[in-house]
């Protein structure tokens, strides 16, 4: 080989201009050639080159072999590795899993689903873990009776809670992220209204398989839930209620414009048909001592709720015309006349009970109703829709004001209320510590109703037993096991937790029933017992729905006109139609079911339009009819799978794409349901085993 070099003297400076400085590197032209000298010298040069190459080859051949060694085991790919997609299940072939189990094992089921990321947010955010997803599935399949019975297992009164529940399930609904949450509470009501038509055919007494008897004091939601659980386990249960009709606070405290009494009594009558025994008009502690129950029954549950309203002892609080919220609501609900005809009424408090009082006062003839609370407009503890409805009906809200003095006339009657400005309600640590300013406001009123808290009345109930009360009249209870200081006596509901929601009271009833069952079976109340998990879910901002199609919107509950509904106690929610309920049930995304429901969110997310989805929504025949993934378009960005609300769409890690022709890059429903193992995605030509038949 010869290497020649020379300097390039053709500078072309006259065309491009001279450089600012001399270059540091001078270009060199290198020519490589395999020419050899001629003659004898060239002959020997050629042979020398050949022998040199053979020598190199020989040395390499005689040396040790160089081998590239691979690991013995393949590296496991992450489940989120963005290979070719697959579906775990598909609607029309795979059923949506129903969440149901015996009461003592239900917590373990919920906990296991939550740990496996299989628990729907609506179920996890409900204190009683009602299977709202299963309800939507049954309703969409045209099975309202099955939906009602599924809900009743955890929410003892679906028709009642379908009207009054504060629906924390809807708050966690994943559909909030896309448009609007599922109307789960109205669907409870619809399931009940459909169940009424076939109730006589489906109600049969539960079999009593255990020779043990339990007495439950109180027929509110907590006591009824515990009684039903124990009945399903085969026990004989008797419920003692001091009033002439059952229902507890649902009967005495919830106004009938929210809860028609015929609905409450009908659902309780169904429980009687199932075998629940009620002893009405019997007050434990007066008519029957609790010691008698301890002698006659194997266990006793105290679920009497809160029966006394608290009144702030400001000057003048004993004047004629001052009362508490609970006696006011009893008079309004039972007599229809709490004594406000033609009067100006001031309600002190900002909770849901206070709003109920204010709205009842309007309906029973008050000329003006004001509601005053310490909290600001955005801090009121009542539900936003409750105060909104009250304002529509004519209630006047006075926020950031606290009661200072009840103004009394010469006859000892209320003539007004002096209010003081409230600057803040809670301190830096979140504790209730109101701070007041220097400004005062006087309001002319004829009646003041305090709705600032409630307490239990237990002195008579525990009289004669080993049970003792605290200085505040509270019953010491283990908040986890719901046991009391006396063996065989348990407690649940608001007498344990304080004021709260009906569904939260129901949740404590389930836990108390499990404790009673373990006690009667001779088991340790805590050992091996799974506590109900408290899941934490993402919170979503309100979605912008201006461009959302009408069929994706939430059903709207029709309401009576404010000017009409404020004059009587007729139910203010008019109900949804059967077709609206079906459409709403179809909107349910069946979250965490691992079954594709054809929601199309994956297709909507795909930037390359590689996914096509179609489904049929006919009641009882809802199925995915078309699912195609075109891998020739897919860029493997991975944006689609996280959007899948059911976790049915997953990445496989199958990066080796081997196809005989282009058509096989389009994966249909059969290929989408393939096994996700291995690293190759071969299309239909690679399927050798029988595939599941998907209905067309």
* Averages of pLDDT over each 10 residues, the chain, 696 residues: 43 46 53 67 82 83 68 56 87 92 95 94 95 95 95 96 95 90 96 95 94 96 97 97 94 93 96 96 93 94 93 94 94 89 95 95 94 91 92 94 93 94 88 90 95 91 88 88 94 92 96 97 94 83 78 89 90 93 92 94 93 86 90 87 93 79 83 85 56 52
DSSP SS3 for 314: coil
Instruction: Give the whole-angstrom CA distance, residue 602 versus residue 610.
Output: 10
CATH 3.30.70.3270 describes domain 85-93+589-686: yes
User: Residue ranges per domain, the chain?
Assistant: 85-93+589-686, 103-307+456-520, 311-455
Which residues are CB-neighbours of 460 under 8 A, at least 6 positions away? 283, 284, 285, 286
Class assignment of domain 311-455? Answer: alpha beta
Three-state secondary structure readout of 374-426: CCCCCCCCCCHHHHHHHHHHCCEEECCEEEEEEEECCCCEEEEEEEEEEEEEE
Angle at which helix 352-363 crosses helix 384-393, to 10 degrees, equals 20
Instruction: Please give the helix or strand (H or E) that residue 215 lies within, else none.
Output: strand 213-217
pTM (predicted TM-score):
0.84
- Nearest-CA neighbor of 582 among 622, 640, 531, 610? 622
Is the fold of 85-93+589-686 the same as that of 103-307+456-520? Answer: no
Q: What is the pLDDT of residue 21?
A: 55
Full DSSP string of 191-210: HHHHHTTTHHHH--PPP--S
Instruction: Give the whole-angstrom CA distance, residue 558 versus residue 564.
Output: 14
Helix extents (H) in 553-651 = 562-565, 578-587, 601-605
Angle at which helix 144-152 crosses helix 132-140, to 10 degrees, equals 170
Centroid of chain to Cα 348: 32
Angle of CA points 587, 97, 205, to nearest 5°: 105
Q: What is the pLDDT of residue 658?
A: 72
| CATH code of the region 103-307+456-520 | 3.50.50.60
Q: What is the pLDDT of residue 68?
A: 58
Helix extents (H) in 196-254 = 199-202, 221-232, 249-252
Helix extents (H) in 501-577 = 502-520, 562-565
- Nearest-CA neighbor of 393 among 253, 260, 567? 567
> Strand 454-455 to strand 308-309: parallel, antiparallel, or no bridges (unpaired)?
antiparallel
Strand order in the sheet with 236-241: 277-280, 236-241, 213-217, 299-302, 489-491
Full DSSP string of 3-64: ----------HHHH---SS--SS------------SHHHHHHHHHHHHHHHHHHHHHHHHSP
> Strand 396-398 to strand 401-408: parallel, antiparallel, or no bridges (unpaired)?
unpaired
Q: What is the pLDDT of residue 6?
A: 43
> Strand 396-398 to strand 368-372: parallel, antiparallel, or no bridges (unpaired)?
parallel
DSSP SS3 for 237: strand
- Nearest-CA neighbor of 517 among 525, 527, 506? 525
Cα→Cα distances 555→154, 551, 577, Å? 25, 9, 10
Q: What is the pLDDT of residue 538?
A: 76
């Amino acid at each position: 080989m010869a290497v020649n070099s020379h300097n390039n003297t053709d500078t072309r400076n006259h065309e491009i201009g001279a450089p600012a400085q001399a270059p540091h590197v001078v270009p060199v032209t290198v020519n490589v050639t395999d020419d050899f000298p001629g003659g004898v010298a060239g002959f020997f040069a050629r042979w020398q080159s050949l022998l040199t190459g053979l020598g190199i080859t020989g040395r390499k051949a005689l040396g040790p072999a160089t081998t590239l060694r691979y690991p013995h085991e393949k590296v496991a790919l992450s489940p989120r590795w963005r290979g070719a997609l697959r579906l775990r299940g598909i609607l029309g072939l795979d059923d949506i899993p129903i969440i149901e189990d015996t009461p003592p094992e239900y917590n373990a089921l919920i906990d296991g689903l939550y740990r496996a990321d299989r628990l729907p947010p609506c179920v996890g955010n409900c204190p009683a873990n009602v299977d709202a997803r299963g309800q939507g599935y049954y309703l969409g399949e045209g099975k309202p009776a099955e939906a009602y019975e599924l809900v009743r297992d955890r929410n003892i009164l679906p028709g009642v809670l379908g009207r009054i529940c504060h629906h924390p399930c809807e708050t966690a609904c994943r559909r909030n992220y896309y448009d609007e949450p599922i109307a789960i509470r109205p669907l409870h009501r619809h399931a009940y209204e459909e169940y009424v038509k076939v109730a006589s055919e489906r109600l049969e007494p539960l079999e009593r398989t255990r020779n043990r008897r339990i007495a439950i004091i109180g027929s509110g939601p907590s006591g009824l839930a515990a009684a039903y659980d124990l009945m399903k386990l085969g026990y004989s249960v008797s419920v003692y209620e001091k009033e002439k009709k059952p229902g507890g606070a649902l009967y005495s405290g919830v106004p009938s414009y929210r809860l028609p009494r015929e609905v409450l009594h009908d659902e309780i009558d169904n429980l009687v048909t199932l075998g629940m025994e009620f002893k009405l008009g019997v007050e434990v502690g007066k008519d029957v001592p609790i010691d008698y129950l301890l002698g006659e029954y194997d266990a006793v549950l105290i679920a009497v709720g809160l029966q006394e309203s608290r009144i702030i002892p400001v000057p003048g609080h004993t004047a004629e015309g001052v009362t508490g919220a609970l006696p006011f609501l009893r008079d309004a609900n039972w007599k229809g006349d709490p004594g406000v005809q033609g009067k100006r009424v001031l309600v002190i408090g900002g909770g849901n009970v206070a709003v109920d009082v204010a709205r009842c006062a309007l309906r029973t003839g008050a000329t003006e109703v004001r509601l005053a609370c310490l909290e600001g407009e955005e801090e009121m503890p009542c539900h936003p829709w409750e105060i909104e409805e009250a304002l529509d009906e004519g209630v006047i809200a006075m926020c950031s004001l606290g009661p200072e003095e009840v103004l009394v006339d010469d006859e000892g009657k209320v003539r007004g209320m002096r209010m003081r400005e409230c600057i803040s309600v809670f301190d830096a640590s979140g504790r209730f510590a109101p701070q007041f300013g220097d400004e005062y406001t006087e309001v002319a009123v004829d009646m003041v109703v305090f709705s600032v808290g409630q307490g239990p009345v237990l002195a008579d109930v525990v009289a004669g037993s080993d049970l003792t009360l605290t200085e505040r009249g509270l019953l010491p209870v283990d908040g986890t096991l719901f046991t009391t200081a006396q063996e065989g006596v348990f407690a649940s509901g608001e007498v344990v937790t304080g004021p709260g929601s009906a569904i939260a009271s129901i949740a404590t009833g389930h836990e108390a029933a499990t404790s009673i069952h373990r006690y009667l079976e001779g088991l340790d109340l805590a050992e091996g017992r799974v506590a109900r998990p408290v899941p934490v879910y993402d919170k979503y901002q309100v979605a912008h729905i201006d461009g959302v199609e009408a069929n994706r919107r939430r059903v709207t509950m029709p309401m009576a006109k404010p000017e009409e509904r404020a004059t009587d106690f007729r139910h203010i929610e008019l109900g949804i139609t059967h077709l609206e309920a079906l459409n709403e049930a179809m909107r349910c995304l069946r979250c965490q079911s691992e079954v594709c429901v054809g929601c199309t969110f994956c297709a909507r997310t795909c930037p390359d339009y590689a996914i096509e989805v179609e489904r049929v929504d006919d009641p009882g025949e809802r199925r995915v009819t078309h699912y195609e993934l075109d891998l020739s378009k897919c860029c493997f960005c991975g944006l689609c799978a996280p959007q899948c609300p059911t976790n049915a769409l997953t990445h496989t890690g199958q990066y080796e794409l081997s196809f005989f022709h282009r058509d096989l890059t389009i994966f249909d429903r059969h290929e989408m349901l393939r096994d996700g193992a291995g690293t190759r995605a071969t299309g239909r030509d690679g399927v050798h085993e029988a595939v599941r038949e998907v209905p067309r």
